[in-house]
Amino acid sequence: MAPKIDPTILKALLLDAADTSIASHGGSGFASTFKITSKDNEGEEKLFFVKQGKGKESQIMFAGEHASLNAIYSIVSSLCPRSYAHGLLSSTTGAFLATDFLNFSARSSSSPSSSYSGLSLAQKLARLHSTPAPIPDGYDKPMFGFPVPTCCGDTQQDNSFKSSWAEFYADNRLRHILKSAEKNNGKDSELSNLVERTTSVVVPRLLGNGNLKTSSGGDVVPVVVHGDLWSGNHGVGTIGKGGVEEVVFDPSCSYSHSEFEWGIMRMFGGFGGSFEREYYELKGKDEPIEEWDDRVKLYELYHHLNHYSIFGGGYRGGAVRIMEELVRKYGDGE
């Protein structure tokens, strides 16, 4: 039996049930996923991708993904699907997210349409990372954080705004994920002590305004980052009736230091040296350039801790190794 379309989704997307069908499509570790096919007033086909989840957690997750997709879309519209709606389902418990449909069956051999951007992934990401984040409501300048909580995996992230990047990364990312890891895996005095040494010594040393500068010598400015950009969240395909594009999906955005993106990109790889060279020809590395590798290790640390929180096991060892190395290097003379 074909799945039924929840009335709330039909209403949110302004679809006529008589002209609309839904079918299971793809997969997700945290949700059920579907393809919706409908028609507009002129009889043209309209396609949407829908996620449905259970519980309060799915409502938070989808609200964050909705805001994340549209934060990226507002800057580089060819980089990701647009999100149209999210909210609570009416026919069952849980929540939904409805976005443009991504067709991953398309390949670069297809004829490009007039809406094809012609931009590589490196060009798109460099543009995203070079555009200052919008000023949040109630503030007078861009802030580090995000308007809503987002989820990296199923970990809910604290995105409360801070003016200092070093403070945001120490408190909202490292100390916050330590609490999650200990909640899921038990108290861990060694891990806790290393995280505290890292946040109190290494983070201000590498990320503080007195040290970290842009290539032009100014303080780093918050930009939109995807937040979970590994090879499994990147692909090639078409969005709607557009041409074949390099696209990303399943974002966990924040207004952050642009180099934070490289933590998970380096952790899992899949982007290659040519991508990196093209990216940094367009967007120079921040200063001090000689500390770039250590900053990326520090950003990778968050994802080791997050994977340890979610999956346990060997990710703890990776986190400990990074912290011990950075504390040895930057903790002298404390």
Active site residues: 228
Q: Which of 156, 180, 172 is nearest to 60 (CA)?
A: 156
Q: Are 146 and 159 in contact (CB under 8 A)?
A: yes
DSSP designation for 173? I
Cα–Cα distance, 299 to 254 (Å, whole number): 14
Token pair 């800057």 is found at 75
Please report, for residues 60, 101, 213, 309, the alpha-carbon distance to residue 210 in angstroms, rounded to integers and kept in the order given. Answer: 36, 45, 8, 32
Token pair 């007195």: residue: 210
Do strands 234-239 and 223-225 pair parallel, antiparallel, or not at all (unpaired)? unpaired
Gap between the Cα atoms of 211 and 207, Å rounded: 7
